[in-house]
Amino acid sequence: MSFADILQMALRNLRQAKLRATLTIIGVVVGVSSIVCMVSFALGLQENLLNQSLSKFDIFTTIPVSGASVSALLEMGQSNAQVADEPADPTQSPATRRDQALAQLRRSAPRRMLDDKAIEEIQKMPGVEFVMPRIGFNAILQYEGKTRQLTLAGASADLQRLPGNRTLLAGTTFSNDFARELLVSEGFARLFRQPQGPEGRPNEGRAGPGAARTAPSEAERRAAAEKLLGRELVLLTLRAQELPAGETGSLDSRYEKHVFRIVGVLSDELNRGLFEQVFSGSNALLVPTGTARLYRKLNSDPLSKLGETLMGDTGYQAAMVRVRSPADTQAVYEAINKMGLRAISLTQQLSQVKTVFLVINCSLALLAGISLFVAAIGISNTLIMSITERTREIGIMKAIGGDDRTIMSIFFCEAGLLGFLGGCLGVIGGWALDTIANLAVNHYIAGAGGKSVNFFYIPWYLWMGSIVFAVGVSLLAAAYPAYRAARVDPIKALRHD
Amino acid sequence: MPLLRARNVSKIYRMGAGTVPALSGASVDVERGEFVAILGTSGSGKSTLLNLFGGLDRPSSGEIVFDGTCLEGLDHKAMARYRLRSIGMVFQSFNLIPTMSAAENVSLALAFSGVRRAERRDKATHLLDSVGLAARGQHRPSELSGGEQQRVSIARALANDPQVLLADEPTGNLDSTRAHEVLEILKAQQQRGKTIVLITHDQELATRFADRCVRLKDGKLQGAA
């Protein structure tokens, strides 16, 4: 008997006892709906926390990358006999053995330079949104008559690529990659304040111990930010040409002044880009990447200059890789490490969090599974009733040549149909319940002035899995009735009324 | 070699603590193309013997041989195959599936042997036509008379072109005219080469249609050759 025939027969049998089949299906619908509801709630929680909220913190989507240090590059260059003026020591001294052991250790450290080629390679990896090399340098800056040594960093003109995903409070982004323009943090002025005296006396009156400090409002922050726009900072660099011997010249003639103008003020929200803050330090002062490259070179220390002279290029200190979704992090992290660079990622911790969610999901599914178990008993009961009613029919089928397997198949098919219909309707029911609950909760949230949130998440694998699970449980429930049907004695069955 | 053979067959039923012998050492040979009537009073074991021939039951001792093969050696699956391909059964109470139409009842036997749907439909129509019910194919058993139901049952028994037709009191629920009609159909099947085993308690019908009559008495066959 073909599967189509068996299916047709099973459908015919179910149609004959419509009410009973309907009640049995309702049992499955309740079971599947509760599974879908509970698991979708847990998945929604996971989705909201991990993929929506935490991804804003960049923790799981940002991968700090570092390349080989200048010393490592020099060492590698030496081993490749690129630096020919230092002959290799032919004798095996204890010091050489120690060096070998160190070299062994260093194999785990980055072996590759983080140059434009490496950046380009990372950029091409699937899942990578962008790569921002970190071009940081120290500089002496003057602002409102005060002079400080501060760290500046290069940043893209594309606001989406700003470190930490920060937003502009006022102003615009850089006009071009080589402009002498600055993006500053709203609290950047603090960098130029006088440090507190040894007596603990605050130099600025407003931070007095008794003064209650309330957080400024958004409008106040914007107003303060607006005031910073257009202000100028002066970056000092040493003059490249030494003065002729014997000439001391004035102090001013020994350095050059470069005027930078503040074009944008960035929000100082710390909850964003937390991971980047930790790895790339303060991003209070940003200049265009081209400008950063230039001043980094101008202001680099003699040792770095010597390293670059020997190596040609020493690459970037570090880079930030942003991936599109947390799901891409692990693969990109592994690929970068494989390149010989060193990447840092919290995916291990993420997978632990995911394990916790898996446990929650499983517990909820198990709880909801109880109702599906009850439904399975209902299916068993329905089929056993059906066997009792159809004993004679089973006897007839056997007398005219129906084998045990065919008869079992008919019953399994009936159970499968009950499970499938119940599963499909259950998924629809679960989705409907989710939608109603979501609407109700969001109505309440909207009343309280909150943002609407989607509390439930039904991915394809949940609804598909629920249907497959319902069919599986139904088939399991049919095992005994089907076996019993196949074992019906045809002679007794033919006498059965 | 006889097509169907019972050799010293006994069948004992357990009834509570005791046992009831239905057949005790019955032997009979049915030749190919023969129409054999087995006569006997109620409870003489006629139906038991037919169930053994039909592969619905197994003897307590002795053996049933079909075309040289002992049925004892067949497993569940082979026995079902034997019922499907080698024999066709006709029952006193017709045993049609009440929820299916006449044509569907005939088709079911064809479906078990894997005949395709379109072919099944044609074959069922042809079979119903051969028993004079071409116009009644879509009727359910409850909408048919006893004689018609029995003719559907014969059409179903013939579906897979078996060598033997086993009829257990096929005229038991019919008036004499309908009984004659049914037996005429069976006789016609014999003329087409089928072997017929008819169980009946009607001496007159048996002698009129069968080539040979054997009588069951006290679980043994008399006049068996």
Q: Determine the 3-state secondary structure of A205 from DSSP.
A: helix
Give the dihedral sign, CA A468/A472/A474/A478.
Answer: positive
Q: What is the DSSP string of A447-475?
A: HTTPPP-------HHHHHHHHHHHHHHHH
**Chain B partners within 8 Å of A5 (Cβ):** 111, 117
Query: Which of B96, B108, B113 to substitute to test the interface with A, most A CBs within 10 Å?
Result: B108
Which tens digits make up the pLDDT trace of A421-470? 999 999 999 999 999 999 999 888 888 877 788 888 888 999 999 999 99
A183, A263 in Cβ contact below 8 A? yes
pLDDT tier, A242 (very low <50, low <70, confident <90, very high otherwise): low
| Mean pLDDT of the residues in chain A | 80
Cα dihedral value B46, B80, A9, A27, nearest 10: 100
Please report, for chain A, the start and end positions of each structural domain, with discontinuous segments joined by +. Answer: 3-55+354-495, 62-79+108-192+218-241+252-344
Partner-chain residue, chosen from B57, B85, B114, that has the shortest CB–CB distance to A491: B57
A109, A72 in Cβ contact below 8 A? yes
Mean pLDDT by 10 residues, chain B (225 residues): 89 86 88 91 85 91 91 90 93 91 93 91 92 90 91 92 92 87 90 92 89 86 64
In this prediction, residue A434 carries a pLDDT of: 93
Partner-chain residue, chosen from B57, B99, B109, that has the shortest CB–CB distance to A400: B109
Across the range A471-494, mean pLDDT stands at 91
* DSSP, res B204: H
pLDDT tier, A418 (very low <50, low <70, confident <90, very high otherwise): very high
CA-to-CA separations, B56 to A34, B87, B154, B205, in angstroms, rounded: 47, 11, 18, 26
**Chain A partners within 8 Å of B83 (Cβ):** 398-401
B residues 183-222 near A, CB within 8 Å?
none
Judge if ipTM > 0.85: yes
With 60 as the cut, is the pLDDT of residue A86 above it? no
Phi, psi torsion values for A447, nearest 5 degrees: -60, -35
Quick check: B57 contacting A, CB < 8 Å?
A: yes
pLDDT tier, A475 (very low <50, low <70, confident <90, very high otherwise): very high
Q: CA nearest A200: which of A187, A212, A209?
A: A209
Cα separation, A464 vs A462, in Å, equals 6
pLDDT tier, A82 (very low <50, low <70, confident <90, very high otherwise): very low
Cα separation, A385 vs A331, in Å, equals 55
* Burial class of residue A284 (count of CB atoms within 10 Å of its CB; 0-12, 13-18, 19+): buried
A41, A294 in Cβ contact below 8 A? no
pLDDT tier, A138 (very low <50, low <70, confident <90, very high otherwise): confident
A264, A225 in Cβ contact below 8 A? no
**Token digits of residue B58:** 């197994």
A401, B80 in Cβ contact below 8 A? yes
Cα separation, A491 vs A1, in Å, equals 23
More confident residue, A166 or B115: B115
A491, A396 in Cβ contact below 8 A? no
Cα separation, A452 vs A469, in Å, equals 32
pLDDT tier, A2 (very low <50, low <70, confident <90, very high otherwise): confident
In this prediction, residue B109 carries a pLDDT of: 92
**Chain A partners within 8 Å of B114 (Cβ):** 1-2
Q: Determine the 3-state secondary structure of B35 from DSSP.
A: strand
What is the percent of chain A where pLDDT is above 90? 20
With 70 as the cut, is the pLDDT of residue A321 above it? yes
In this prediction, residue A210 carries a pLDDT of: 45
Segment among A135-149, A200-214, B56-70, B74-88 with least mean pLDDT: A200-214
